[in-house]
Amino acid sequence: MTHGTTGWHVPETDLRAYARGDLEPPLLWSADTHLTACAHCRAALADVTDPVALDAGWDRLDAELDAPRPGLLESLLLRLGIADHTARLLAATPALRRSWLGAVAAVLVLTVAVAAGHATGGSPTLFLALAPLLPLAGVALSYGPALDPTYEMAVVAPMHGFRLLMIRTVAVLGAGLGLNLLATLALPGYGLRALTWLLPALALTATALALTARLGPVPAASLVGGGWVAVLLAADSVRAGEETTLVPFTAAGQGVSAAVAVLAAGLLVLMRDRFDLSRGRTV
Amino acid sequence: MTPTVSASGLSLHYGGTRALDDVSLRLSGGVTGLLGPNGAGKTTLLRVLATAVPADRGAFTVLGHDPGTSRGRQEVRRHLGYLPQTPGFHPDFTAFEFVDYVAILKELTDRTARHREVRRVLDEVGLADVRGKRIKKLSGGMRQRVALAAALVGDPEFVVLDEPTVGLDPEQRMRFRELVAQAGEGRTVLLSTHQTEDVAMLCNRVVVLADGTVRFDGTPGELTAQAAGRVWSSEERDPGAKAGWRTGAGTFRNVGDPPAGAELLEPTLEDGYLLTLDGAGAEVTA
User: For chain B, what is the mean pLDDT?
Assistant: 90
Per the CB < 8 A criterion, the answer to whether B48 and B58 are in contact is no
Q: Are residues A62 and A118 in the same domain?
A: no
- pLDDT the model gives residue A149: 85
DSSP β-bridge partners for residue B245: B253
Q: Do A283 and B17 touch (CB under 8 A)?
A: yes
Burial of A219 (0-12, 13-18, 19+ CB in 10 A): middle
Number of helices followed by number of strands (H, E) in chain A? 14, 0
Residue bearing the bigger pLDDT, A256 or B14: A256
Q: Are residues A43 and A134 in the same domain?
A: no
Q: Are residues A12 and A119 in the same domain?
A: no
Burial of A270 (0-12, 13-18, 19+ CB in 10 A): exposed
Q: For chain A, say whether B132 makes contact (Cβ under 8 Å).
A: yes
Residue bearing the bigger pLDDT, B173 or B51: B51
Q: Are residues A96 and A172 in the same domain?
A: yes
Number of domains in chain A: 2
Per-residue pLDDT averaged across A59-67, rounded? 64
Domains in chain B with CATH codes? 5-217 (3.40.50.300), 229-266 (no CATH)
Asked if residue A139 is part of any domain, the answer here is: yes
* C-alpha count within 13 angstroms, C-beta hemisphere, residue B99: 38
- pLDDT the model gives residue A64: 64
Residue A224: give the domain boundaries.
Answer: 87-276
Q: Are residues A23 and A103 in the same domain?
A: no
Residue A40 predicted with pLDDT over 50:
yes
Residue A252 predicted with pLDDT over 80:
yes
Which H helix or E strand runs over A120?
none
The CA distance from B56 to the nearest CA of chain A, in Å, is 14
Chain B CB contacts of A281 under 8 Å are 14, 53
Q: Do B92 and A71 touch (CB under 8 A)?
A: yes
Q: Are residues A51 and A110 in the same domain?
A: no
Asked if residue A75 is part of any domain, the answer here is: no
Chain A CB contacts of B131 under 8 Å are 66
Q: For chain B, say whether A62 makes contact (Cβ under 8 Å).
A: yes
Residue B1 predicted with pLDDT over 80:
no
- pLDDT tens digits, one per residue of B143-190: 999 999 999 999 999 999 999 888 778 888 888 899 899 888 889 999
Per-residue pLDDT band at A68 (split at 50, 70, 90): low
Distance CA A116, CA A124 (A): 8
Q: Which of A166, A151, A142, A173 is nearest to A268 (CA)?
A: A166
Residue bearing the bigger pLDDT, A224 or B15: A224
Q: Are residues A164 and A264 in the same domain?
A: yes
Instruction: Tell which of B14, B105, B120 to mutate to test the A interface (max A CBs under 10 Å).
Output: B105
Please report, rounded to a whole number, the percentage of residues in chain A having pLDDT higher than 90: 22
Least confident range of A184-188, B116-120, B165-169, B276-280: B276-280
Per the CB < 8 A criterion, the answer to whether B55 and B11 are in contact is yes
- pLDDT the model gives residue A282: 52
Please report, rounded to a whole number, the percentage of residues in chain B having pLDDT higher than 90: 60
Chain B CB contacts of A158 under 8 Å are 74, 77-78, 105-107
Per-residue pLDDT averaged across B108-129, rounded? 90
- pLDDT the model gives residue A3: 46
Asked if residue A76 is part of any domain, the answer here is: no
DSSP A158: S
Residue B286 predicted with pLDDT over 50:
no
Asked if residue A243 is part of any domain, the answer here is: yes
- pLDDT the model gives residue B281: 45
Scan residues 201-220 of B and list those with Cβ closer than 8 Å to A.
none
- pLDDT the model gives residue B65: 94
- pLDDT the model gives residue A5: 52
Q: Are residues A22 and A120 in the same domain?
A: no
Distance CA B72, CA B69 (A): 5
- Of the candidates B78, B88, B116, which has its C-beta nearest A149's C-beta? B88
The CA distance from B39 to the nearest CA of chain A, in Å, is 6
Asked if residue A80 is part of any domain, the answer here is: no
Burial of A240 (0-12, 13-18, 19+ CB in 10 A): exposed
Q: Which residue of A has its CA nearest to B97?
A: A68
Compute CA distances B50 → A144, B39, B43, B81, whole Å: 18, 18, 10, 8
Per-residue pLDDT averaged across B11-40, rounded? 91
Distance CA A164, CA A92 (A): 11
Chain A CB contacts of B105 under 8 Å are 89, 153-154, 157-159, 164
Total Cβ atoms within 10 A of residue A11: 14
Distance CA B35, CA B212 (A): 12
User: For chain A, what is the mean pLDDT?
Assistant: 82
Asked if residue A95 is part of any domain, the answer here is: yes
> SS3 string of chain B?
CCCCEEEEEEEEEECCEEEEEEEEEEECCEEEEEECCCCCCHHHHHHHHCCCCCCCEEEEEECCECCCCHHHHHHHHHCEEEECCCCCCCCCCEHHHHHHHHHHHCCCCCHHHHHHHHHHHHHHCCCHHHCCCEHHHCCHHHHHHHHHHHHHCCCCCEEEEECCCCCCCHHHHHHHHHHHHHHCCCCEEEEEECCHHHHHHHCCEEEEEECCEEEEEECHHHHHHCCCCCEEEECCCCCCCCEEEECCCCCEEEECCCCCCCEECCCCHHHHHHHHHCCCCCCCCC
Residue B106 predicted with pLDDT over 80:
yes
Residue B238 predicted with pLDDT over 70:
yes
Whole-complex ipTM: 0.84
Asked if residue A98 is part of any domain, the answer here is: yes
How many CB pairs (< 8 A) connect A and B?
Answer: 118
Q: Are residues A101 and A153 in the same domain?
A: yes
Burial track A126-154 (b if 16+ CB lie within 10 A, e otherwise): ebbbbbbbbbbbbbbbbbbbeebbbbbbb
DSSP A245: P
Q: Are residues A218 and A262 in the same domain?
A: yes
Residue A219 predicted with pLDDT over 50:
yes
- pLDDT tens digits, one per residue of B173-232: 888 899 899 888 889 999 998 888 889 999 999 999 999 999 999 999 999 999 999 999
Q: Are residues A46 and A165 in the same domain?
A: no
Q: Are residues A92 and A62 in the same domain?
A: no
Asked if residue A81 is part of any domain, the answer here is: no
